[in-house]
Amino acid sequence: MRTFSSGVQTLINSNSLDFFYLIELKLNNTYRFTTAAYNMDYDNYTWLSDGGIFSIEPPKINNILDREAYKVTLIDLSDVLLEEFTTNVIGKDITVWLGFHDPYGVALLNNNDIVQVYRGYVDSPTISNDWGTKVATIEGTSPMSDLDRVNSFITSRDGMDQIDATDTSFDNVFVDTALTVKWGKV
């Protein structure tokens, strides 16, 4: 069960939540964006409010095993993300936190007030351009994405040497060796 700080729990109990997201993209360069209406300083970094966050799909919780991914959509006015995507960002880190404003509009920025809602890796980045707006969609891996993974393993001396050069367990796998086996009663 997730626990919240006393300040956040008070806000949840009051049913008057004003929240914002913090998004960190560790692509070839690191980008930090917020959905708050102003730049904010958190965890010794400045999170930009003009980062062009278009939408954040909330994670879906259900009782079946599926590959539901997490999507963040950004406006890419300066082609920065387009350049990042062309240099391959698959497998790079993406983290999303949820923060809250108190009833006076002040952000609660203590580490125990910020809730991590997603941490994963970029799975399929796309850019769509309708000549008016460039939209970058970053789809993060789902928690079940490893179910589709195929790991190949080469059963030969050279294949094992890539893992451990001192392991000799596969040294005779493909060697033509004649054996005389005594079968039955001798």
Task: With respect to residue 158, please indicate whether it lies within any of the assigned structural domains.
Answer: no
pLDDT at 61: 59
C-alpha–C-alpha distance, residues 70 and 63, integer Å: 17
Q: What is the mean pLDDT of each run of 10 residues along the chain (186 residues)?
A: 76 82 92 92 91 77 61 85 87 90 87 86 85 83 60 72 80 70 74
What is the domain range of residue 93?
A: 6-148
Instruction: Provide the residue type at 103 as one letter.
Output: P
Burial environment of residue 8 by CB neighbours within 10 A (0 to 12, 13 to 18, 19 or more):
buried
Count: domains in the chain: 1
Task: With respect to residue 182, please indicate whether it lies within any of the assigned structural domains.
Answer: no
Task: With respect to residue 154, please indicate whether it lies within any of the assigned structural domains.
Answer: no
